[in-house]
Amino acid sequence: MSTGPADQENETLPALPDQRSQKLREALLGLAGLPDDSPALPDQLSTIVRLSSEVVDPVDFASITMLAVEGHRTHASSSEEAEAVDLAQYAEDAGPCLLALRSGETVGVPDIGGAVVWPGFRDVAWRHGVRASLSVPLFAGSGVPVAGLNLYARDAASMRLLIQRVQSCYHAGPTQVLPRMDAGSEQFLAGLAGALLSRDLVQRALGLLMDRDNIALGSAYRRLVEATEAGARVTDTATAILRQYAS
């Protein structure tokens, strides 16, 4: 087998994303551009769950938590194990998935055995082979969390880096160079980073509408949605508003 310079160079190149990985990135970006009450939102969330469990290497199980009239519920899950861990959190009204949805912050649990603050979650997760988890708030056009994405892993070591990389997307701070991951994880991270940029863009447009028309945030968001044509993204409307005011 050849081990010449060309072969050695190829071995160092990052893995190229496949179509499923790219679809995961696109689904995360697409979600950020949907109105919160879009009829397309449930299917978009289901796609994110399915692809997260399929292409993000550290993840073994995934689910989506949403707030319903009767309380929290699992909108979609990749396995019975994921749903069981979710249900343990709903039963105690406490756990990383609920904290992420309520706070809008990522919640990483790099060691399930050490999650003493959530005993119900810890015990059920451990029984199902989960050794680490990461809950990520997902948002649509308004920028308010509409769901929590729950990622569960059997291998705590591989999940630890994903937790660090995701948290670095959500929290601006001193630049820290972290190792690259598999192609699926990199596309997942790119989707989250792009969604955060979309959220910032929409918030800037909402701020302009609030200042111009002397209205509250909720009213500005409703006007933004009303100005968005059916099938279009609120991020496109926000971009047009910002360009109008820049000209």
| CATH for 94 | 3.30.450.40
21 and 87 together in one domain: yes
Q: pLDDT at position 170, please?
A: 83
What distances in angstroms separate CA 32 from CA 160, 180, 200, 213, one per listed residue? 26, 25, 10, 25
> What range does the domain containing 217 cover?
199-246
1 has a pLDDT exceeding 50: no
176 has a pLDDT exceeding 80: no
Domain termination site, one of 196, 221, 238? 196
List the alpha helices (DSSP H) in 5-118.
5-12, 19-32, 41-55, 80-92, 96-103
Q: Flag whether 113 is in a domain.
A: yes
Instruction: Render pLDDT for 42-67 as a digit per residue (tens, 0 to 9).
Output: 999 999 999 999 999 999 999 999 98
Residues in the chain: 247
Instruction: Render pLDDT for 192-213 as a digit per residue (tens, 0 to 9).
Output: 999 999 999 999 999 999 999 9
Per cent of the chain over pLDDT 70 is 91
Strand bridging mode 61-68 / 71-77:
antiparallel
- The tokens of 178 are what? 């972290």
37 and 98 together in one domain: yes
CA 85 remoteness from chain centre: 18
Q: Flag whether 141 is in a domain.
A: yes
Q: Flag whether 1 is in a domain.
A: no
Q: pLDDT at position 14, please?
A: 55
Q: Flag whether 221 is in a domain.
A: yes
DSSP label at residue 165: H
220 and 137 together in one domain: no
Instruction: Render pLDDT for 129-175 as a digit per residue (tens, 0 to 9).
Output: 999 999 999 999 999 999 999 999 999 999 999 999 999 888 766 66
